Amino acid sequence: MKASQTLADNLQLVLTDLIELQLQGKQAHWNIVGANFRDLHLQLDELVAAAREFADETAERMRALHALPDGRSSTIAASTRLEQFPAGLTKTKDAVKLITDRLERTVQTMRDVHDEVDAEDPTTADLLHAFIARLEQLAWMISAEIMSANASVADPQEA
C-alpha cells in the first residue's frame, strides 16, 4: 500500500508532536525542582521513552507506506501543535501541569487525524489506538502527582 498525501500529512502531524513531546519531557526532566522531584524525574523518563518509541514507530510506518517522515529540528519547531516549554527551573507542580497539557495536546492531534487515518489504513489507526491509550495513562499518572483527594474527576488538576 502507498500512503496518500493526506495520510502522509496526518502521520507527519503525529510524528511532529511526538518528537516535540519527547524533547519537552527531557527539558522538564533536567530542570524540575521541588516536592516529589525524584518521582516526577523518573516518570518523565518513562514519558520520554514512550514518546521516542511511538515517534520511531510512526516514522517507520510512514516509510512502510512509502511516505517520507521529516524529523528535522526546523520542521518540528515550525509545525508542532505543542506550546513551547518554559526555559529555566520549573517547580514540580508547574511541570506536572505543563507536561500533562502537552500529553493531552499530543493525544488530541492523534484524535484529530484518526478518522482520516482509519478510513485509509486501519492498521495505522491501530497504532494510534495503542499510542493514545499509553499517553492517556501517562497523563493520568503524572497528573496524580499533584491531584487533591477532593479533586473532581472532570478536572484532576484542581488543588
- Residues 33-69: pLDDT tens digits? 999 999 999 999 999 999 999 999 999 999 999 999 9
- pLDDT for 148: 83
Q: Give the 3-state secondary structure of residue 34.
A: coil
pTM of structure = 0.93
Separation between Cα atoms, residue 54 and residue 141, nearest integer Å: 18
Contact call for residues 92 and 145 (beta carbons, < 8 A): yes
- pLDDT for 57: 98
What stretches in the chain show pLDDT beneath 70? 151-159
- pLDDT for 149: 86
- pLDDT for 155: 61
Separation between Cα atoms, residue 48 and residue 150, nearest integer Å: 30
